[in-house]
Structure 1
Amino acid sequence: MTERRIAVVSAGLGRPSSTRLLADRLSAATTAELAARELSSSVETFELRDIAHDIVNAMLTGFPAGQLRETLAEITGADGLIAVSPLFTTSYSGLFKSFVDILEQDSLNGVPVLLGATGGTPRHSLALEYAMRPLFTYLHADVVPTSVFAATDDWSGNGDQVNPLPKRIQRAGGEFADRITQRVGAHPTDPFQDVPSFEQMLRDT
């Protein structure tokens, strides 16, 4: 069984951050949904704050170097991407946008993407649809229908009984798992795997 690889990008600035917490919730929901489909998976999370200087250097020079080059290879080579950003002044963070700007234009072509965002109040949630979704649509990513926004109050207390956030996370994880499962060409087969050996050809003559 081929293991599905999930890359998670968190653009949270604090530590700990609600952005990372949402990213972890989304990845946990995805792995659970993949397991329900009898698919194994692995998750690798990348904190953009840890490579912020490399991102700025790449924007200035036009070339990713060091840890950033390895990070880009891991993210663009994954079977699916979870991308979560805090919202500032009704849009994604500058760090998040800078990271997306250094991605090669076709590097996420057809890759399933699950979007998440965090902010102070629910009125900022529409930024996922008018800001973040068009960004990844431009990159020809396969963005799942359900995106997830978490406001500050969503993390307080034990309001999961009345809070729609857990159910939205579960629904988004299910859609994301479906896209990963159905993705054509996510694991291309070896074109030579069915070529008979020399001994087999001799036996067939």
Structure 2
Amino acid sequence: MPRPDKGTRQKLIETAKTLIWTSSYGAVSVDDICKAANVKKGSFYHYFPSKQDLAMAVMDEYQSYKIESIMKPVFAADKPFAQQVDDMDDVIIKDNKSNLEIHGFVCGCPLAALGSEMIGEEEQAIRLRVEELFHECQKYMINAIASAVETNQIPHVDPKEKSEEVHDFLTGLMIMARIHNSLDGLERDLKPGLVRILGLNQKELVAAE
């Protein structure tokens, strides 16, 4: 029996990422993924025992991209905190605009979209994995806030609590952008909200642009 092509696994991951992100985990079936990827069902199960396992692989790949392409460059230690925050604002807006152009509507955060679906016991493994990935990204914000406090760039705050507040704010904005299918609120409220939550000086943030 011929073995599936080595590119098949990646094709399934990319296809599932697009289908789940632009629709929902619950609405997308294994058949839908196989059809869109032009992959036989046997090949799917060669790589993934279930749709849940594929979703896990999708999340892990997205997380690798997010860490290497977003979190590390944005929170580079040699940048002032105001510049880090300004860069984070820019990349969030840029990514959401790019995905709007590609898909035709606002997709928001793929992890938040996926995790918010997982309310039943059957898919708790996905919810827990989303939670783990969020915490992994939050470490970059925690370290950046701690450094900013130590160097008197922002008022004294608890870095972990403040990073959670920032994360909840960002996630809420992107979920609402997805619901309204509009980036107006995200573009209007993101930077002022970050300035308020983090106690930044608006002039410093403008200077970082």
TM-score, normalisation: structure 2: 0.26
Between Structure 1 and Structure 2, which shows a larger proportion of helix residues? 2
| Structure number having the greater strand percentage | 1
